Structure 1
Amino acid sequence: MKDKVVVCAYHNVGYRCLEELLRQGADVRLVFSHEDSPTEEIWFKSVRDLAARHGIPCLTSSVNTPQNRELLAELAPDFLLSFYYRDMITTEVLALAGRGALNMHGSYLPRYRGRVPINWAVIKGETATGATLHYMVEKPDAGDIVDQQRVEIAFKDTALDVFNKVTDAAVTVLRRSWPQLVEGSAPRVPMDLSAGNYCGGRKPEDGRIDWNLSAVEIYNLVRGVTHPYPGAFTTLAGHRLLVWQAFPAEGTGEPGRVVSTQPLLVGTGNGLLELRRLQLDGAAELCAADFVAATPCRGELLA
């Protein structure tokens, strides 16, 4: 008899990992996902649609509700698997999985435990991250590691570029690990939390640019929160100005001061930042040349 599996999943990682489980013939009895937020750009695939195509019941109420705990207790799953599910799963729910509850995390643990690990890795200028399958415990992203796959972060990669690499890595990890989990031969490597770090979630307001930082640090912020995320921003003449694309350049200038318009260069705490794609609140996104033609800004101070 096959192991009974319950999957908590959302986003592309959730879609691709559920797809891989089904490809391997896993007996997925129930899926928990989320309603799409009306304030979020929905650029990723739908776990609910995938479950529906395979005739698998899918609930968008939290897996932690008393009713859903009762449902899981009756189902008595062997495995509970979490793939980019956004709710912290309680220990009471985790205990209902007879053979274990596991999570696929978007970093090379123990580095970047917590929320939005891919964005944080890009913002912090990391050159590598990864995907990690680990057992879930009460503390987030802290249980024994089953398998990991490292991916490189190129200097020009945006968070979306890295997210796509990590998604592929997550599927690779699951493809290797699922047969071992079923057989009972999967490794369990204790996580050394002292060797890692924990990061909290990010809000759109966290994208505000501090021009006293170096050009490279600001560039990392821009590429870490650019499309499809809310974007990095500054203020020009009292109006919010989104910076969707930029690149560091050599030179000096007062932090936040526009020192050139061809190309569009702004001073920082160390070096210059070339702004390449911009958008004033309520206006269209423009390349730098078109933006300068429409909005003369030489000598302006951005804040």
Structure 2
Amino acid sequence: MRIAMFGYQTWGHRTLRALLDSGHEVCLVVTHPKSDHVYEKVWDDSVADLAAEHDVPVVLANRPTAELTEQLAALAPDLIVANNWRTWIPPEIFDLPRHGTLNVHDSLLPGYAGFSPIIWALINGEPEVGVTAHRMDATLDAGDILLQRSVPVGPTDTATDLFHATVDLIAPIVTEALELIDSGQAEWTPQDPTKASFFHKRSLEDSRIDWSWPAEDLERLVRAQSHPYPHAYAYHRGQRLEVVAAGLSRGCYGGTPGRIFIKEGDGVVIVAGAEARHGRSRGLLLTRVRTEDGVEWAATDYFRTMGGYLRSHPETAG
């Protein structure tokens, strides 16, 4: 088959590598220019560079254009494969090939369509994450499913761990999908729209700690914002403080959310949860923090005395 590819960052890079290794002809690669967005500088293997290494023509674009549509029509690909393309692809492109467009998405659709699905899924305590290969249609990430593969989420897994586990699924799922499509054995399963969820692109604001969340949710937020993602953060005495590592307290602690309460083991307990006043909630046990100057501290060294609060915003710090 003649295949055109739309993709970006490491997800797109792994997809293109699988296409190049498949024995099919890659006739065009379309990718985004490099971005300064904080989440687009993470896992940023260059699709353009890989294509150039293999003498595959490359188009750099933020959005499809009329000229690109004409170029694709002239190339007459049998299939388009997309992964981590960040803007809408119109039907005059995704319906152009005789096999349509195969989109590869890093969630178990119909749940977690949209952006940063692994981070959102980890925050929400999902038991597994994965990759879906589906047919592109006019609704983002909603087309019929060809293949899915999943990996379990362990109790200490970070978003970084889950990225590596799921990105390794891309090559085998693309390879199998191509074989099924080329042989005419592909069986497509419609998604159940009643089980769909759609998530927006994450930004630094989404890493801000809200101390009204239960500690269990905050502990997952910290794991979801693991290096190289921007860490979860709060403010102490007006200065931004990143939470590098945290767990759940052994004991239950009552009071006001955000209170710097007590040392426990190798960490410091911060009262958390909207129901914390009842004294039946666990706290968030901070173990590693980083100050605005980039210095990382054991929480027990940074918080020399107890008392005071961690705040969500600097203007209310105390």
TM-score, scaled relative to structure 2: 0.89
The alignment yields a C-alpha RMSD, in angstroms, of 1.6
Counterpart-to-counterpart distance in 1, 2:69 and 2:8: 19
After superposition, what is the alpha-carbon deviation per residue over 1:176-207, rounded to whole angstroms, capped at 9, x for unaligned?
Answer: 22111111211111111112322222221121
Deviations 1:207-260 (A, max 9, x none): 111112211100111111222222211111111111122111222143211112
Contact 1:247/1:275 (8 A) holds in 2: yes
Which residue of the other structure, out of 14, 17, 22, is the alignment partner of 1:19? 17
> In terms of mean alpha carbon deviation, does 187-196 or 101-110 score higher?
187-196
> The residue matched to 2:310 in structure 1 has which SS?
coil
Give the letter aligned to residue 211 of structure 1: W
What per-residue deviation string (whole Å, max 9, x for no partner) do you get for residues 61-86 of structure 1?
13511211111121121111101121
Tell me whether 1:153 sits opposite 2:153 in the alignment: yes
Is 2:257 the counterpart of 1:259? no
Report the counterpart of residue 84 of structure 1 in structure 2. 84
Gaps of 5+ in 2: 274-280, 312-318
Counterpart for residue 272 of structure 2: 268
Displacement of 1:107 after TM fit?
0.7
**Which residue of 27, 30, 39 maps to 2:28?**
30
Give the structure 2 partner of residue 284 of structure 1. 295
For 1:67 and 1:229, locate their aligned partners in 2 and report how far apart those are by CA, in whole Å.
36
Alignment partner of 1:300 out of 300, 308, 314: 308
Worse-matched range after superposition: 32-41 or 220-229 = 32-41
Q: Is the 8 A contact 2:33 2:62 kept in 1?
A: no
Superposed, which structure 2 residues align to 1:188-207 within 5 Å?
A: 188-207=188-207
CA distance 1:174–1:43, change in 2 (3 Å)? closer
CA distance in 1 between counterparts of 2:159 and 2:169 reads 15
Report the Cα offset of residue 39 of structure 1. Answer: 4.2
> 277-286 or 237-246: which moved more?
277-286
Question: What secondary structure, in the 3-state scheme, does the structure 2 residue paired with 1:217 have?
Answer: helix
Aligned to 2:115: 115
Aligned length: 298
Quote the Cα distance in structure 2 between the aligned partners of 1:197 and 1:11.
Answer: 24
CA distance in structure 1 between the aligned counterparts of 2:8 and 2:151, rounded to whole angstroms: 21
- Cα deviation for residue 42 of structure 1 reads 4.0
Q: What amino acid is aligned across from residue 120 of structure 1 in structure 2? A: W
Instruction: Please give the TM-score of this superposition, normalised by the length of structure 1.
Output: 0.93
Specify the alignment match of 1:100 in structure 2: 100
Show the counterpart of 1:5.
3
Q: Give 3-state SS (helix, strand or coil) of 2:244's partner.
A: strand
Deviation at 1:7, TM superposition (A): 0.5
Q: Once the two structures are aligned, what percentage of the paired residues are identical? A: 35
Cα distance, 1:129 vs structure 2: 1.5
Q: CA deviation at 1:35?
A: 1.9
Residue 236 (structure 1) aligns with = 236
Letter in 2 for 1:5: I
Residue 237 and residue 63 in structure 1: after superposition, are their counterparts in 2 closer, same or farther (change >3 A)?
closer
